[in-house]
């Protein structure tokens, strides 16, 4: 019995201090991620909450009034007659961009996935637009696409009368898509190239021995094995395509008509040009929902189409 108090005292003394090894480690961990975490809280999460808050108000910047209007801005989304056209333009842009970008990137990656002399030069060449400033790139394309610009000048050499690229609805949309694809196709190309180089050679050898033609090898071996990369690039490209702004602002200002007014450009106009910050915030909530739903859908789809995931 006399041992018990002694035992208790010794347990009290030997009880571990607050800063155990595990706690120190996790504190260090938290401190290391803190800059990023604080950044996300300040620049992403708080603005996101504020945008939702603004979307419930009518905010007149000039008159300095901020009035709670409940769901009125959301009703406006349904009643806005321009919005259907804007969402249509956004869909055309996104689909056009994703299809063209992904297929071109894959084609380039397959072509450049060969052991030839000087192949690195070509890879660099196709990747270089990715590191060029977006605005500079777009301004140069803006000059080329003028009616009396470089592209039509070149066509004229072959006796072809080029269209007024940025002033006709169809060609304006094609132009902004192509300018954006050329700018970013290099990034997807590099990702595909890395994935292609990860496909084991033995599989192709086996297929060749079985007499499978090249196209069948591509469809049955290459595509399934690089499908995780296809999923990743398609998510990045779709999300990116919904956020396009600078190209539209520089090349077409949303015209002719509303034919190239995509959602981001439309919400910029509403908020920053027309001073309807409340409605602009509501439109950005709409964009957020669209991006979230598309990403979620793709993520769900991966179970069916992505063949191999480690």
Partner 1 sequence: MAYHRTWKSAVAAMAIALPLGWSGIAQAQEAVNLRMTIWSANEAHLKLFNEIAAGFKKDHPDVSVTYESLPFDTYTTALTTQIAGGNAPDMAWIFETSAYDFVKSGALYPLTDTLNAAKGYNLDEVSPGATERWSQDGKLYAYPFSTSPFAMFVNNDLIKAAGAKTPAEMIAAGEWTWENAIAAASAVGKTGKGGLIVRDFNYQNWQYLTSVWNGWGASPWSEDGKTCSMAEKPMADAVSFIHDAIFAKKAMPGPGENVDFFAGNAAMTITQISRASLLPKDKPFAWDLVPLPKGPAGEYALIGQAGIGVMQSGKHVETAAQFVAYMTNPENSAKLSQFFPSARKSLLNAEVLEKTNPLLSREQIEKVVISGIATGKVMPGHTGFAQIQQTVRSNLDAVWRPEADVPGTLQKICGQLGPLLRR
Residue 39 touches partner 1, criterion: CB under 8 A? no
Q: 133 CB contacts (<8 Å, ≥6 apart)?
A: none
DSSP helix/strand/coil, 68: strand
Q: Which helix (H) or strand (E) holds 67?
A: strand 65-68
DSSP helix/strand/coil, 7: helix
Closer of 68 and 274 to partner 1 (Cβ) = 274
Phi-psi label, residue 57: left if phi above 0, alpha if psi -120 to 50, beta otherwise: beta
Among 8, 23, 31, 299, binds partner 1 (CB under 8 A): 31
Residue 164 touches partner 1, criterion: CB under 8 A? yes
Closer of 46 and 206 to partner 1 (Cβ) = 46
- Within the chain, residue ranges assigned H as helices are 3-14, 21-40, 46-54, 72-79, 81-112, 119-131, 134-144, 150-157, 169-197, 201-209, 214-217, 223-225, 227-242, 246-251, 263-268, 277-305
Closer of 96 and 280 to partner 1 (Cβ) = 280
Q: How far is the CB of 11 from partner 1 (least distance, A)?
A: 23
Among 7, 8, 10, 32, binds partner 1 (CB under 8 A): 32
Looking at residues 213 to 242 of the shown chain, list those that interact with partner 1 (rule: CB under 8 A).
none
Looking at residues 83 to 122 of the shown chain, list those that interact with partner 1 (rule: CB under 8 A).
none
Among 93, 126, 165, 265, binds partner 1 (CB under 8 A): 165
Binding residues (CB under 8 A) for partner 1: these are 21, 24, 27-28, 31-32, 34-35, 38, 59-64, 146-149, 164-168, 253-258, 261, 269, 272-275, 277
């Amino acid at each position: 019995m006399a041992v018990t108090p002694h035992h208790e005292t010794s347990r009290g003394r030997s009880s571990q201090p607050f800063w155990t090894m595990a706690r120190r480690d996790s504190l260090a961990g938290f401190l290391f991620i803190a800059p990023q975490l604080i950044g996300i809280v300040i620049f992403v999460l708080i603005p996101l909450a504020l945008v939702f808050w603004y979307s419930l108000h009518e905010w007149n910047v000039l008159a300095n009034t901020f009035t709670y209007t409940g769901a009125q801005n959301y009703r406006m989304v349904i009643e806005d007659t321009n919005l259907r056209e804007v969402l249509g333009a956004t869909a055309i842009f996104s689909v056009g961009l994703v299809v063209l970008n992904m297929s071109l990137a894959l084609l380039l990656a397959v072509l450049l996935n060969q052991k030839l002399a000087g192949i690195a030069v070509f890879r660099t060449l196709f990747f270089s637009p990715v590191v060029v400033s977006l605005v500079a790139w777009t301004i140069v394309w803006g000059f080329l696409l003028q009616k009396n610009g470089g592209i039509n000048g070149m066509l004229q050499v072959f006796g072809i009368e080029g269209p007024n690229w940025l002033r006709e609805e169809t060609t304006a949309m094609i132009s902004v898509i192509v300018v954006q694809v050329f700018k970013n196709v290099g990034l997807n190309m590099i990702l595909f190239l890395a994935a292609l180089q990860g496909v084991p050679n033995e599989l192709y050898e086996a297929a060749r021995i079985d007499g499978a033609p090249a196209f069948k090898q591509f469809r049955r071996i290459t595509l399934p094995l690089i499908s995780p990369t296809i999923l990743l690039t398609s998510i990045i490209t779709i999300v990116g395509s919904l956020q396009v702004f600078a190209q539209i602002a520089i090349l077409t200002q949303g015209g002719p008509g509303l034919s190239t007014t995509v959602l981001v450009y439309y919400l910029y106009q509403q908020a920053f040009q027309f001073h309807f910050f409340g409605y602009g915030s509501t439109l950005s909530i709409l964009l957020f929902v669209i991006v979230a739903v598309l990403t979620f859908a793709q993520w769900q789809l991966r179970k069916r189409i992505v063949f191999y995931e480690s």
